[in-house]
Structure 1
Amino acid sequence: MQQLVPDEAHDRIDINPIGFSDPLRWLWRGLRDMASQPLISLFYGVCFWLMALILLAVFKSNPEYTLSAVSGCLLIGPFLAMGLYDVSMHMERGEPPSMGSSLTCWESHIRSMSMLIMVMVVMELLWGRASLVVFAVFFNSAGMPTTATVLEAVFNPQNWEFVAAYICVGGFFAGLVFASMMVSIPMILDRDTDAITACITSLRVFVDHTAVSVFWGLLITVLVVLAMLPSAAGLLVVGPWLGFASWHAYRAAVRVTAAGAS
């Protein structure tokens, strides 16, 4: 167990050991939370589904604006996720969760959340810039890409350099975002931690348990990809399910002891 002691806070942060069976346990507990709160789960599921439909519509009609649409989702997504964490947190404490509390839980953490979202948007902008470079160097097409030309490039064996470069660049930034956000948002909700401490803690969880974290990320990716077929309707279930499960991932990986507590 590795111990972290932030300079600005006196709370002791311990990184707990986790194994490969733990992500499956988080999914089970998330499913249990979702089943116990069907109306709240449905509300958030619809929100995630609508976000996915907007992204799909933008990609089909104007793919050059897809990254801008993703930026908008990055502004909304963390607040939706925090609402789900709030529900799981109240149930864990034996308190009745409510829709009102889940929708307003971010208000007392607005400074930390704003900083965290700013970091996410900066990383997404860097990701977008790197993607444009990949398109400029490897994408063999005149003018702005369209849905047809992008899909043609992906499935054309002659464009393997473009596909490989895009996967490498996208994988790097996706991994960086995942490592930074793995436990940061639930930690802000649970302990009112500042964004920097929360991100550092999340990165330490990823570094200390890289294999398990990658396995957890792959599970999330597979479930999201399956949920996107067809018409992203699976997000009605998978969206809130992963939100609840992510709270349990945080609780299993991080233990915070208040200053002065034994």
Structure 2
Amino acid sequence: MTSEDAEPQTRAPDRAPKVNKISAQDIWDSLKAGAADFAAHPVMSGFFGLVYAVFGLGFVWCLIQLGMVWMIIPAIVGFPLVAPFAAAGLYEMSRRRQIGLPIRWRDILTVMADQRKRELGWMAFVTLFVFWVWVYQVRLWLAILLKDASFSDFDGFMQTVLYTPEGWTFLAIGTCVGAFLALALFSVTVIAMPMLLEREMNFVSAMLTSVRAVTEKPLVMMVWAAIVTGALLLSMVPAFVGLIFTLPILGHATWHLYKRAIPEVGAS
């Protein structure tokens, strides 16, 4: 194994890099490149999608066993919030394929394990914290708006939410709060996650760079956010099975979008 193989991260100055403006064509090209990465290594890419899907199913199963059926829909809706961190291995696969390095299980898993010593670990904390805030605010509004309702089963919860004024208010508030949290997390992670895997820089600078990339072309980046969120949510419908395919493609595509948004180290 070469030294480049053993230490894949780019040694970059700890400062915020320049940001390119992203166009709709960049999104389309990134999706095509992501699909090509998946097609080149479908088993390894699908593995990360499978892990994500199994985790989702296990989470729902735990909620059912604990009698927290009212949390199933909020958990599923909030589940895409943790997708950027789940795709870390996919970023590394795309990085290696792009520069011609071998893509082997030990290399990918080693790089992922090493992230606990680097700034990407703090981004994982940010992601999980936002997910916790999402779950907590759902419980808060349930207590305030639906305190007299009984949710003995999932059907009872859906009846209350869909067919009562209190349920409509709960849905309206939950949608607004959820949209705000999703937008905030997307803005600070869409570029930061792959950038921290490749470069040595602090996670605050990475988040600020990610926000700058979003604000440079907000409409285009919101389209990308809608594509990612919609694809992940639809993929959960058949028992999370679709995530085996959509998460890898979107994860690979996110890497390519990042490379289009952030110039190479030393580029003008």
**Structure 1 length as normaliser, TM-score?**
0.84
The match for 1:133 among 127, 140, 156 is 140
Give the CA RMSD over aligned residues: 2.9
Which residue does the alignment assign to 1:40?
44
Instruction: For 2:99, give the aligned amino acid.
Output: R
Q: Offset at 1:13?
A: 0.9
Q: CA deviation at 1:157?
A: 5.8
Unmatched tracts of structure 1, length 5 or more: 1-7
Could you tell me which amino acid in structure 1 is paired with residue 132 of structure 2?
A: L
Q: Are positions 1:113 and 2:120 aligned together?
A: yes
Is the counterpart of residue 165 in structure 1 residue 162 in structure 2? no
Q: Which structure would you say has the larger RCO, counting Cα contacts within 8 Å and 6 or more residues apart?
A: 2
What are the superposed Cα offsets for residues 196-217 of structure 1, whole Å, 9 maximum, x if unpaired?
Answer: 1111111111222211111001
Q: Do 2:14 and 2:200's aligned partners in 1 also have CA atoms closer than 8 Å?
A: no
Give secondary structure in 2 for the equivalent of 1:242: helix
Residue 28 of structure 2 is aligned to residue 24 of structure 1: yes
Of 195, 215, 225, 1:207 maps to: 215
Aligned to 2:95: 89
**Structure 1 position 192, deviation (Å):** 2.3
| Equivalent residues of 1:31, 1:241 under 8 A apart | yes
Which residue in 2 is equivalent to 1:101?
107
> For residue 58 of structure 1, what is the aligned residue in structure 2?
62
Which residue is 1:235 aligned to? Answer: 243
What amino acid maps onto 2:50 in structure 1?
V
Residues 131 and 166 in structure 1, CA contact (< 8 A), matched pair in contact too: yes
Post-superposition offset of 1:81: 1.3
Letter in 1 for 2:97: M
Q: Report SS of the residue matched to 1:14.
A: coil
Q: Which stretch of the first structure deviates more once superposed, 163-172 or 151-160?
A: 151-160
Q: 1:12 to 1:28 in 2, by over 3 A?
A: same
Residue identity in the other structure for 1:116: M
**Number of residues of Structure 1 aligned to a counterpart in Structure 2:** 251
Query: C-alpha displacement at 1:141, in angstroms?
Result: 3.6
Q: Which amino acid aligns with 1:88?
A: S
Say whether the 8 Å CA contact 1:227–1:235 is kept in structure 2. yes
Specify the SS of the correspondent of 2:241.
coil
State whether residues 150 and 156 of structure 2, in contact with CA within 8 Å, keep that contact through their aligned partners in structure 1.
no
Which range moved further: 52-61 or 89-98? 52-61
1: CA distance, partners of 2:263 / 2:186: 20
What residue in structure 2 maps to residue 122 of structure 1? 129
Give the aligned residue type for 2:216.
D
What residue is the counterpart of 2:258 in the other structure?
A: 250
In the alignment, structure 2 segments of 5+ residues that lack a partner are 1-11
Percent identity among equivalent residues? Answer: 26
How has the CA–CA distance of structure 1 residues 29 and 154 changed in structure 2, closer, same or farther, with 3 Å as cutoff?
farther
Is the 8 Å Cα contact of residues 33 and 88 (structure 1) preserved in structure 2? Answer: yes
* CA separation of 1:78 and 1:102: change in aligned 2, threshold 3 A: farther
Query: Which position in structure 2 is the counterpart of 1:222?
Result: 230
> Residue 124 of structure 1 aligns to which amino acid in structure 2?
F
Residue identity opposite 2:252 in structure 1: F
Q: CA deviation at 1:256?
A: 4.4
Q: TM-score, normalised by structure 2?
A: 0.82
* More strand as a share of residues: 1
